[in-house]
């Protein structure tokens, strides 16, 4: 974080760090969803049986691949914070998320993906699971590049199942300039 007077990181932006700005809940995961995802990911090879074998499903052993996305077909419920402010659409196209928390985003209308990663907990996604994801800003930093000042926004999206068990955390760095 920066202490410069002309910093892109304002005090009101710092106040939203760690507060979820978006939550979504999946439809119940179906065995067919898992099989189709595995077939697509492993194509043209045959996917491992743990993702496709109907007997495994009957025995409670069918699990989704780690990169399975239960939101690929939409969310059963999508909620914000209830304090969203109106925003020029050009900021939305650059990935601004602060407005979901009632804070005006910095005046940066271009963005790049600065990288993504996922951390898995070992809790598998199984048929019948309902996954909830909650996204929050983890930190801000800024740098100066060839195109001028850049704001790096690190976000984290935590996935939990219906029992509250953590499934994974997806992290992304958004570079706005």
DSSP for 69-95, written as a single string: -TTTT--SEEE--S------HHHHTTT
Q: Place 14 in a pLDDT band, splitting at 50, 70 and 90.
A: very high
Tokens standing for residue 25: 């809940």
For residue range 39-70, list pLDDT tens digits in order: 999 999 999 988 988 776 566 688 999 999 99
Residue 79 pLDDT greater than 90, yes or no: no
In a domain, 40, yes or no: no
Q: What is the mean pLDDT of the chain?
A: 91
Domain with residue 87: its CATH number is 3.10.129
Q: Write down the pLDDT at residue 83.
A: 75
Query: Domain count of the chain?
Result: 1
| Residue 4 covered by a domain | no
Whether residue 35 lies inside any domain: the answer is no
* Low-confidence winner among 38-42, 87-91, 121-125 (lowest mean pLDDT): 87-91
User: Among positive and negative, which fits the CA dihedral 154, 84, 166, 159?
Assistant: negative
Give the pLDDT of residue 58: 64
């Amino acid at each position: 974080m920066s202490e410069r007077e002309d910093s892109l990181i304002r005090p009101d932006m710092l106040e939203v760090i760690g507060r979820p700005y978006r939550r979504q809940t999946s439809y119940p995961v179906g065995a067919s969803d898992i099989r189709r995802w595995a077939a697509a990911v492993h194509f043209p090879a045959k996917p491992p049986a743990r993702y496709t074998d109907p007997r495994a499903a009957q025995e409670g052993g069918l699990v989704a691949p780690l990169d399975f996305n239960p939101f690929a077909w939409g969310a059963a419920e999508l909620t914000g914070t209830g304090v969203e402010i109106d925003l020029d659409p050009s900021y939305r196209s650059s990935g601004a998320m602060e407005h979901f928390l009632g804070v005006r985003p910095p005046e940066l209308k271009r963005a790049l993906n600065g990288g993504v990663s996922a951390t898995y907990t070992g809790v598998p996604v199984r048929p019948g699971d309902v996954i909830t994801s909650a996204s929050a800003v983890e930190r801000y930093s800024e740098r100066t590049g060839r195109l001028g000042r850049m704001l790096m926004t690190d976000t984290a999206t935590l996935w939990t199942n219906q029992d509250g068990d953590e499934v994974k955390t997806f992290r992304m760095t958004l570079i706005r300039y």
